[in-house]
Structure 1
Amino acid sequence: MKTQITRRKLLQALGLGAIGAGAFPLACASPGTSENKEKVPVLRFAHLTDMHVEPGIGAEEGVKKCIEHILKSKKQVDFFVNGGDLIMDALGKDKAETEAQWAIWRSIRAAYPDLKFYHCIGNHDVWGKTPHEEKFSGKAWVMKEHGMESPYYAFESKGWHFIVLDSTHQKDDGTWYTAKLDTAQRTWLEQTLNKIPSDKPILIISHIPILGATPFLDGDNAQTGDWIVPGAWMHIDAKSLINLFHQHPNVKVCISGHIHLVESLLYQNVHYHCSGAVSGNWWNDEPYEMTHKGYGLFELFEDGRHTFEYVEYDKKPKGKL
């Protein structure tokens, strides 16, 4: 069922901080921090989202080109974050088709065995034709590929705490999918936030944006005369999550993919970033809604500040007129 969004509610949702990051670095100092504090980041990571690998479209070569671009950069990263939709699609594919896609990823990982990846599950990573009951419906295969014991988890690195969420869930009628947290995951998230010391900054990773402006602009969502954003494009529990984050001021950053567009939005002192797509326009040469193939580069500082840069690793030069 589609939800009607009034102009007033839209403005409340977007806030005043929605901007397109494009290919330019964005310094994001959280309110109340001092610019005179340590300017050297404590860690740096690359956010590779929406790789959409499958045979025969140049995806393996493209992902390797992206990784090589990062490895050759002067800004060396501590680790990589896979933001989800690593394969082209498993929701509607049979076993053989799904296996062929994961085989591409295994080939990529074999070429870079020493790289550290933290994985987030995307909607296209879910196997929709799973033949048996699973603890986490449709996700046993992707969890096995990534060595995950749970589709959501937390980790810590150099003073920052990271929380990886699972956005993709079946609708009430059993079809796929709605962007939200299920009850068990929501309880786990609340407990996890309560355990993290209040002076330790937190970065949250989800495949589907918790909050964003780009879901309004991805397609003709105003054709009815009202803004209509599908529940599969942005978390339908966004308001509840925003209220939860407000209780934990050390939640500084939320990052996502899914939309294949780039944005940075500041709302209630939390920065929401969407890191485009490694595959761009699903490996087509033309950009998607003016967005080229790229990855997010994040630098995190001890005092809770961060920077975000969208790096276009394969932007083709413009031809002469």
Structure 2
Amino acid sequence: MKKKLTRRNLLKVMGLGTVGAGMLSVNSAEANVFHQTKKIPVLRFAFLTDMHLKPGVEPEKGLRKCIDAILANEEPVDFFVNGGDVIMDALGENMENVEAQWAVWRKIRSEYPDLKFHHCIGNHDVWGAAAEGEVFAEKAWALSEHGMEKPYYDFQSNGWQFIVLDSTHKKDDGSWYTAKLDPEQRDWLEQRLNNISPEKPILIISHIPILGATPFLDGDNAQSGNWVVPGAWMHTDAKSLTYLFNQHKNVKVCISGHIHLVETLVYNDVHYHCSGAVSGNWWGDTPYEFTDNGYGFFELFEDGSHTFKYVEFDKKKV
């Protein structure tokens, strides 16, 4: 016969025996305070990706609205992260048009001089032109705009290690582009992971998702009867990277943009967050699929845990 659960039995299970009611009241109050105490993050940052700036009222107004919403509505952030594709598109554009796009970014940045940014390079930030089947793809301009020496690097903040990767590279046939790490960058990443203390949690930033579900749904990718995900939409070296992360259990979070859709995927204890775009549907009047213009907001904790939310600052859904 199943034993009836009584208050006295419950206290025995909890190891409290037959303590008096007064003592139980005090302990319960203390327990409630303990359970209701919210963990305090050691770090907060805003993730702005796929801004796709160009001359015009809507992009300029939209980015200001995004930044103002963060400053007005969120807890103070330690820094901002640019997830790539700051400008609309540099590939195939002449120098004057590319300069006009970057000028919009510089103008808005000058209006918020106190904001600290860490930058990731996106595929549309790369200047290039197609000529006779070959692609000249140059990242130097974007690096110069952001004051970066290399398109991949790492930094520390409040007990967390951040690793910024460069996702976009030429395909084997010389065309632009596929998502992966080049050999030099892969060697660098392996060395950095080996040298970082296993006690320090790691967050990895890439423009293109390392791993995700939304690349399967962004388009009719099953029309052949099989799933066919373009190499430009998700890292083609994803499996290899997941094996690498498995060797370093302090890799906790990977964040990206590129897809303009929002998702959270957990695989082998690593959280993969794809944040929607600041530009939404490339500054269109409707959301892209199910996602409006927005930003990501992260809180990181000392124990290696985190929170993520996507905030749609410009609702266009009807």
TM above 0.5: yes
Instruction: Quote the offset at 1:247 in angstroms.
Output: 0.2
Partner of 2:210: 210
Q: Deviations over 1:74-127 (max 9, x none)?
A: 412111000001100001211111001000000011101110000000000000
Instruction: Quote the offset at 1:160 in angstroms.
Output: 0.4
Question: 1:255 touches 1:275 (CA, 8 Å); kept in 2?
Answer: yes
Distance 1:303 1:223 in 2: 44
Taking the TM superposition and a 5 Å limit, the aligned residue runs for 1:188-227 are: 188-227=188-227
What letter corresponds to residue 63 of structure 2 in structure 1?
A: V
* TM-score, with structure 1 as normaliser: 0.84
Distance 1:200 1:37, change over 3 A: farther
* Higher RCO (Cα < 8 Å, 6 or more apart): 1
Structure 1 segments (4+ residues) deviating >3 Å? 35-38
Partner of 2:110: 110
Instruction: Quote the offset at 1:235 in angstroms.
Output: 0.2
Taking the TM superposition and a 5 Å limit, the aligned residue runs for 1:1-321 are: 39-56=39-56, 58-129=58-129, 138-316=138-316, 318=318
What letter corresponds to residue 267 of structure 1 in structure 2?
A: Y
Distance 1:57 1:217 in 2: 31
Distance 1:141 1:151 in 2: 11
Distance 2:172 2:217 in 1: 27
Distance 2:294 2:147 in 1: 26
Question: 1:129 touches 1:138 (CA, 8 Å); kept in 2?
Answer: no
Distance 1:50 1:37 in 2: 36
What letter corresponds to residue 260 of structure 2 in structure 1?
A: H
What letter corresponds to residue 282 of structure 2 in structure 1?
A: W
> Relative to total residues, which structure has the larger helix share, 1 or 2?
2
Distance 2:199 2:36 in 1: 19
Could you list the runs of 5+ residues in structure 2 that have no partner in the other structure?
1-34
What letter corresponds to residue 53 of structure 2 in structure 1?
A: V
Alignment length (residue pairs): 280
Instruction: Quote the offset at 1:268 in angstroms.
Output: 0.5
Question: 2:292 touches 2:317 (CA, 8 Å); kept in 1?
Answer: no
Distance 1:291 1:150, change over 3 A: same
Distance 1:279 1:145, change over 3 A: same
SS of 2:215 mapped into structure 1: helix
Instruction: Quote the offset at 1:60 in angstroms.
Output: 1.1
Distance 2:84 2:237 in 1: 19
Distance 2:37 2:193 in 1: 26
Question: 1:256 touches 1:275 (CA, 8 Å); kept in 2?
Answer: yes
SS of 2:254 mapped into structure 1: strand
Distance 2:292 2:57 in 1: 17
Could you list the runs of 5+ residues in structure 1 that have no partner in the other structure?
1-34
Moved more, 264-273 or 53-62: 53-62
- Percentage of matched positions with identical amino acids: 72
* TM-score, with structure 2 as normaliser: 0.85
